[in-house]
Structure 1
């Protein structure tokens, strides 16, 4: 069966930005070979560096406050323990002991608050540092840049959704052809089947691949139901480019050492089998048959047909031999028969 499809990389990564700002530098362009972690573009880092500096200063203030309140806590604890000893000699009143205990408890609570504040400041600093790191747009994988959607000086707005800056294909030596198969044909398509196809860029070259995936989710467009199929292709020589249109032949059945006839021959009906006047027709009420030359006329030979493609049909049974001449009316005006010889697969 035939189909059309689009050549695509097996895996394409969308590289976007989590932060907003103007692009100050672009290090990757179309066809740039990149490695994981490589910087492809830079967003102005100054506003984010300012936030990092501010959060770092806030953390330092919180650390200093903890040091101060820690000293107050130590003093309050020491004063409370001293008063506990003095009350035994009645050198201080019970109220003094209770007040010193309350002050020690307050100091302990303040230290706990300071520690929580430090954790908060550390989290804020970490978030600010992450945003600062996000100003460097990095490739997440090894691959090749196949699309660049940003220019230097352009302002990137990531407030509502992550903008797409680059498309990176992981490996162009392995490609796939994405195609659609109609619901009437999907029953004959399965994983592992061989596929041949051509592209306009190389009209004399036949590429080969195999069905790697038949997806179960249907697509409905204008009441026509199709299913997605994926063809895996080796592209070691990098001849195939993303986006090329492919004309595919999916081999759903295979026959070897078999007789075949043109599909036209199975549709051909002479106007009068007893003379040389003949014309093709779509009417066939007698079962599959072909018209074979016999002396000066043609005779009908019933046949059993097998697998078929867009051009030929295999003959599984019938009184036919390789070399028989059959009529299929390619040129009705000049001849009732076309001297076509059966071929072997």
Structure 2
């Protein structure tokens, strides 16, 4: 029997994979993973750098312990403590001048002389009138003696009947009239003597003398100038009595005058000596107000020692009057009180309570404080949790941009 069935051939074996294909595939996957990790790391670094660039750089200061003073700042003019105005009581032409600027004068020293000749003639006339009055008195005294003798003789004769009553009355009248003339002559002599004294006084006023010891700070007259003293005494010289003691006449506004007291310490400087600070004391708070353009000010006088003769009359002084002071207190810069962070929500505070910001783990944290004196640079801390030496933020500056390194602190008011 013939079998037509064809025998089935065995399956062919599978083809072997190419040599090295699987290892190359794994390297490609690893390289891709590494590239992704590198890109992610770079992106995270860029993100962190950008975040760091946007974060502000804080400018800080330290809460310190030190003195603090509240002051009133004002301006004024330096003047001698006492300035004497030397004028002229009489009119005339200046004949000579013996005192000039900066002359040291003594009391009674002649500084100028007015032509005395017109006043000398008045004195001579008054002397003549006085002599005439005295001569008249002598004449009338002789007449009185004759009238008295006549009257006494008539009285004795009237008793015997040799003189009539009318003659006796006439003698009495002549005697009384002669006695009255003597009284009139004495009054006339006194009047003439007063006129002579007045003329001599006016003659003496032709010598312009210094009434005090001092220094001439102003001369307002020249030789040959006519001085007219009819309506107002002209000012010829200004004499400062003591240049070693000066005063500063300052103008304090009405808003600050309530804090000023006699005896308070003060200091000032002048433009001539910008690097020197002069000490002074409040010696007077004058009650007379001065109104200039609707601004009311009061004159506060500061006394200053000028033994070194550096200060001159008329210098402009910028003065600081200490109205309150603390010797050793906790204080913070005023900038710290004005600062408010840009990245943190500012908490609400009760009315009148202030706060400063400190850094805790690189982040600003508010600290409540109670304030006392303020000297426009520092404020006294009288309450709160702030401690001496603690850092406070006074501003912030951006770290982005080409000028970040030199940027100034930014305050948020």
TM-score above 0.5, yes or no:
yes
Once the two structures are superposed, the pairs formed by residues 108-123 of structure 1 within 5 Å of their partners are 108-123=179-194
Task: Return the alpha-carbon distance in structure 2 between the equivalents of residues 273 and 75 of structure 1.
Answer: 125
Name the counterpart of 1:324: 390
When residues 337 and 269 of structure 1 are mapped into structure 2, their CA distance, relative to the original with a 3 A threshold, is farther
Q: For 1:64, what is the secondary structure of its paired residue?
A: helix
In structure 1, how many angstroms separate the alpha carbons of the residues matched to 2:367 and 2:408?
15
Q: What TM-score does the superposition give when structure 2 sets the normalisation length?
A: 0.76
* CA–CA distance in structure 2, aligned partners of residues 201 and 134 of structure 1: 41
Give the Cα separation in 2 of the matches to 1:25 and 1:78.
60
Does residue 198 in structure 1 map to residue 269 in structure 2? yes
Higher helix proportion (structure 1 or 2): 2
Q: Distance in 2 between matches of 1:61 and 1:259?
A: 92
Q: What corresponds to 1:292 in structure 2? A: 358
Whether the 8 Å contact between 1:198 and 1:246 is mirrored in structure 2 is: yes
Shift of 1:71: 0.6
**Deviation at residue 328 of structure 1 after TM alignment:** 2.2
Distance in 2 of aligned mates of 1:331 and 1:210? 44
Aligned length: 330
Cα 1:168/1:309, change in 2 over 3 Å? same
Deviation digits for residues 155-196 of structure 1, max 9, x if unmatched? 111111000111111111111111111111111111110001
Is 1:166 aligned with 2:232?
Answer: no
Q: Which has the larger radius of gyration?
A: 2
Q: Secondary structure at the match of 2:118?
A: helix
Query: What stretches of structure 2 of length at least 5 have no aligned partner?
Result: 1-71
User: 1:286–1:95: structure 2 CA closer, same or farther, 3 Å change rule?
Assistant: closer
Partner in structure 2 of residue 259 of structure 1: 330
1:292 CA drift (Å): 2.2
CA distance in 2, matches of 1:95, 1:110: 22
- Give the aligned CA root-mean-square deviation in angstroms: 2.1
Q: 1:131 to 1:330 in 2, by over 3 A?
A: farther
Q: Following the alignment from structure 2 to structure 1, what is the Cα–Cα distance between the partners of residues 408 and 372? A: 24
Gaps of 5+ in 1: 275-283, 339-345
Instruction: Check conservation: 1:326, 1:337, Cα contact below 8 A.
Output: no
Q: What residue number does 2:136 align with?
A: 65
Q: Which residue of 2 aligns with 1:313?
A: 379
Partner Cα separation in structure 2 for residue 332 and residue 286 of structure 1: 31
**RCO greater where, 1 or 2, for CA within 8 Å and sep 6 or more?**
2
- Is the partner of 2:327 in helix, strand or coil? coil
